[in-house]
Structure 1
Amino acid sequence: MSDPKTHPGSRIPVAVLGATGTVGQRFVRLLADHPWFRLEALAASERSAGKCYRDAVTWVQTQPLDERVAQMTVRTCEQILDGRHELVFSALGGDVASEVEREFARRCLVVTNASAHRMAADVPLLVPEVNPDHLDLLAAPAAGARLPAGIIANPNCSTIGLVLALKPLADTIGIDRVSVVTMQAVSGAGLPGVSSYQILDNVIPWIPGEEEKLEVETGKILGRVEGGRIESAALAVSAQCNRVPVVDGHTLCVSVGLRAPAQLDEVREAWRAFRAEPQALGLPSAPPQPTVYLGDDEPPQARLHREFGKGMAVTIGRLRECPVLDARFVALSHNTLRGAAGGAVLAAELVVARYGR
């Protein structure tokens, strides 16, 4: 077999929808020099169409904008609908994503960060290390195509960090109840996001729709495919979500009820031993260790730990017994890398490894 980090054929042409927003910019940065994908088209709103990308975007990434991409002309989604790309990454807002993504999905594979299709019965809500079997919902590629057409949805950014921390425990011990309190970074609100007057010297203890997403998405992701649909896991989840003055990195304080008695050493070992299909395949965006346990006295902190695994690993610490449930801990994930563009790119890599090689 060829080295999985080097695609054996030509790079797959891809497009980014919603390319000027914060998540769209992350897609652009990750795809500019990706070994399997070649960025061929950028789409945004009509007010950006016709401009070169450097003039259409307010670039907020810490790395400089790739010069080839900077010179690309931004177009509308309609203008690239019949393009030659085989894969589309969507960072569209929820108000336009539903119809536009379905149109593209009739022609090619769409991997979306939008929420519009997350709970659709025929759409995998994918975290590659957690539920790769949900790709069975996709039809086989059409004759002559490398990839299947359809939609793969990236979950809510907080949900991704939660299910990555829960998956090793679900597999080895079993879980039936989860209580989670999130402290979510301002980048999760997009551009222009939360105003400085609202967030500085403050915690906002409500993010519209966020708690509901965490509670229902977790069950779908940890569920199983039965008869062409996903049966959600029998899991009670209670979520409370807060916006805090951090740029990147969502922190989660989690308590879990275990299905079987377990020592805390068993919980630690489950995280430390966890590897999955992306690691076995050596996918370009996969972290070598997806769940990194820091220590009982070392809580993960956004400023110190969000870049672990190039922003693709979940860091965990402060494991201890819970007087209400069974065990409690703190987890941290990078919301715009693992929780958005990076997670979507990894999902696309997994599809390519399965179908497009």
Structure 2
Amino acid sequence: MFRVGILGATGAVGQRFVQLLDGHPDFELVALTASEESAGSSYRAAAKWRVSTPIPEDVASMTVTATEPEAVPDDLDLLFSSLPSGVAERVEPAFLEAGYVVSSNSSNARLDDDVPLVIPEVNPDHLDLIEVQREERDWDGALIKNPNCSTITMVPALAALDQFGIERVNVSTLQAVSGAGYSGVTSMEIIDNAIPYIGGEEEKMETESRKLLGTVGDGGVDWHEASVSASCNRIATIDGHLENVFVETDADPSTEEIAEAFRAAASQDLPTAPDPLIEVFDEPDRPQPRLDRMVGDGMAIAVGGIQQNDDGFQFNVLSHNTIRGAAGASVLNGELLADRGWL
């Protein structure tokens, strides 16, 4: 068993980490950190538990520590980070310099040349950047990032289609309120409404997707050359990001060939990896957040509405934004690190 901890364990994503690590076959949760105000409290007292499953009893009684290297055990094999990006930008390097391996959901450093931005089923070879990172930054730790929740919904489907030569992608998202955190969108803002702007989200989709689909080159990643344009919208669903994706390719595949490419997308032999990776729906009105966000225990990608248009083809894609799009993605990256011998 690998001994693991969570940085920022009391927030929405931190709670999802706790849920997903409960009973994990390879990871033993032994450390929880939070703000200075919560340090010294039991996890039950520090976390306002909002996940649908009960708080694990063994975790509830654990003492929360401050988020600093001196406050956590020095024999941890892996840390999961769900810190706000502004905090993570300051705090994560201290843990890395102290020799910790960090699988982070935070958005800072995702586009750094020497930081692996990874979806295990898409680009596991990007872990090779860890050696570059250690040499460039002169630390013994390692930092690996998972992408933004909207990016990770779309990219596995794009990776399956890259055999046809992707040239251009346009995507419009319908994103759940949980993606903004528990206090991110007020009820007065979102009820009877849709918000056609999510700060920074469009840029993340347009850049992270090209890095994920790129290839490891000399000291970094050669980004995919496709043009990616995104329009991101917040709607009044609780969980599950739904996206309408329009793709232009060099080849001209049929809808049957596109569906088969999705079905053939390779999974990974890891404890929480879904099989199949992509669940294809034939119905034109699927996937839907309420019905389909938990496919593959919330770790699979749901695709439907495949059709050709004048410029190429289009489809709808959905994933659970706080499982596959956040904590689950980091846990899966941690499993990949263990499988590839980095822990």
Q: TM-score, normalised by structure 1?
A: 0.91
Shift of 1:32: 2.2
1:330 aligns with 2:316: yes
SS at match of 1:297: coil
Contact persistence 1:139–1:149 (CA under 8 A): no
SS at match of 1:139: helix
Shift of 1:86: 1.5
Distance in 1 between the 2:71 and 2:21 partners? 18
1:316 aligns with 2:295: no
Partner of 1:135 in structure 2? 127
Distance in 2 between the 1:20 and 1:193 partners? 16
Contact persistence 2:2–2:77 (CA under 8 A): yes
| Matched residue count | 336
1:238 aligns with 2:236: no
Contact persistence 1:97–1:114 (CA under 8 A): yes
SS at match of 2:281: strand
Partner of 1:209 in structure 2? 200
Distance in 2 between the 1:139 and 1:225 partners? 12
1:3-39, CA deviations, whole angstroms, 9 ceiling, x for partnerless residues?
A: xxxxxxxx11111011011100011111121111111
Q: Structure 1 residue aligned with 2:81, among 84, 90, 93?
A: 90
SS at match of 1:46: coil
Distance in 2 between the 1:356 and 1:117 partners? 20
Partner of 2:51 in structure 1? 61
Amino acid of the structure 2 residue aligned with 1:230: V
Partner of 1:44 in structure 2? 34
Contact persistence 2:31–2:72 (CA under 8 A): no
1:275-333, CA deviations, whole angstroms, 9 ceiling, x for partnerless residues?
A: 14x1xxx211000101111115242000000000000001000101122x200010001
Shift of 1:272: 0.9
Distance in 2 between the 1:129 and 1:160 partners? 11
Partner of 2:13 in structure 1? 23
Shift of 1:259: 1.5
Q: Structure 1 residue aligned with 2:277, among 266, 287, 290?
A: 290
Amino acid of the structure 2 residue aligned with 1:326: G
Amino acid of the structure 1 residue aligned with 2:108: A
Aligned counterparts, 1:1-357, within 5 A? 11-78=1-68, 79-81=70-72, 83-106=74-97, 107-139=99-131, 149-170=141-162, 172-276=163-267, 278=268, 282-323=269-310, 325-355=311-341
Distance in 2 between the 1:322 and 1:103 partners? 50
Distance in 2 between the 1:45 and 1:262 partners? 52
Q: TM-score, normalised by structure 2?
A: 0.95
Contact persistence 1:174–1:258 (CA under 8 A): yes
Unaligned runs of 5+ in 1: 1-10, 143-147
Distance in 1 between the 2:330 and 2:323 partners? 9
Distance in 2 between the 1:194 and 1:344 partners? 24
Contact persistence 1:16–1:88 (CA under 8 A): yes
Q: Which is worse superposed, 148-157 or 181-190?
A: 148-157
Amino acid of the structure 2 residue aligned with 1:152: I
Distance in 2 between the 1:193 and 1:219 partners? 28
